[in-house]
Amino acid sequence: MRTSTTTLAPRPAFGARLPTTKTVLALSAQLALVAALLWFALPQALGGRAGWVMVSGTSMLPHLHTGDLVLVERRSSYHLGEVIAYRVPKGQVGAGHVVIHRIVGGNPRTGWKMQGDNRTAPDLWHPTNRDVIGAKTLRIPDAWLVLRFLHAPLFLGLLAACAVFFWVAFGEDGEADADPEAEGSA
């Protein structure tokens, strides 16, 4: 009976291995995605130019519906016909509430004349550019359905459990790089 013994070559230290092209491309794509999200969707509270507004009510029908999520971006200027979100100016009834309506007149210095698409009369408020959160850039229809699930603790727990499962089941354990030629043969 013959037995054969093979000697395994020593593995290089962790730092000695260069990343593969696939790894570099994947990392570059992830960094580009994060940069794009930061550029377009970083909230104004964190120094970005984006604001998120959840539509509530019927004043902007048929263009915006209750439950739609609207991405608005701060701009240097706004024009007639543009849909903007603004905070009701201080000292007026409803001060601080966010309204999303269309510009139908006015100017940035004295205040914009605003009106909902489904309204016959203009708003009582005349926001200036200081009060404007931003102009409509993107509408996500019925986003309240997704947000409702993301606020449910049971759903978040299941989502975390699935993430841990896939991380454990399919994560790299460091042993997959063994040299196939160094395996023993009978």
Report the C-alpha gap between 69 and 85 in whole angstroms: 12
In this structure, CATH architecture of domain 44-144: Ribbon (2.10)
Query: Of the ranges 7-16, 57-66, 146-155, which is most confident?
Result: 57-66
* Domain regions of the chain by residue span: 44-144
Report the C-alpha gap between 129 and 76 in whole angstroms: 9
Confidence at residue 85, expressed as pLDDT on a 0 to 100 scale: 97
Report the C-alpha gap between 160 and 167 in whole angstroms: 10
The answer to whether residue 183 scores a pLDDT higher than 80 is: no
Q: 181 vs 8, 9, 16, CA distance in Å?
A: 9, 10, 21
Lowest mean per-residue pLDDT among 13-22, 92-101, 112-121: 13-22
For 144-176, letters b (16+ CB in 10 Å) and e give beeeeeeeeeeeeeeeeeeeeeeeeeeeeeeee
For 45-93, how does the pLDDT look when each residue is reduced to its tens digit (9 = 90+)? 888 888 889 999 999 999 999 999 999 999 999 999 999 999 998 888 9
The answer to whether residue 4 scores a pLDDT higher than 80 is: no
